[in-house]
Amino acid sequence: MKRTVAGVVLGLVAWIVVATIGNRLLRAGLAGYSDVEASMAFTLPMMLARLLLGAVSSLCAGYVAAWTAGSSGAAAKALAVVLLAIFIPMHCALWAKFPAWYHLVFLASLGVLTVVGAKMRGSRPARVSGCVRPDADL
């Protein structure tokens, strides 16, 4: 249980860190992004970049949750629920600022890609070069 809670917490921290770093990269690398960020008047390429950033953040968060909690998947699923609980109210408040497809893709990706990220962690073989990984489930 402690490992599951730790996985959720560290997965959430990972999501925030990846999203923050990625958002700074978007500001620096995507022309006009920082000019429209406050008003959220993003162009289609900007919205797609934001969705990609959310996807990468969710994959990393799921991976960290699974790495921390082990391969049961419970931490990643709980993390997906926590992320949805955080972002659904935010997206309801911002509904008029973005097209419906944007909200639906982002919210769906939170659940799906968090679990996929966890499975990416769990898909590594237990044996490497004849040695058993210390964290392998035997």
Give per-residue pLDDT as tens, 113-126: 999 999 998 654 44
Q: Total structural domains in the chain?
A: 1
Mean pLDDT of 65-82: 90
27 domain-assigned: yes
67 domain-assigned: yes
37 domain-assigned: yes
Mean pLDDT of 90-117: 96
What is the predicted pLDDT for the residue at 121?
A: 80
25 domain-assigned: yes
| pTM, 2 dp | 0.85
116 domain-assigned: yes
127 domain-assigned: no
Q: Residue 92 belongs to what domain range?
A: 2-121
132 domain-assigned: no
For residue 5, what are the CA distances in angstroms to 21, 106, 107?
A: 24, 24, 22
Sign of the four-CA dihedral 5, 63, 137, 134: negative
135 domain-assigned: no
What is the predicted pLDDT for the residue at 136?
A: 52
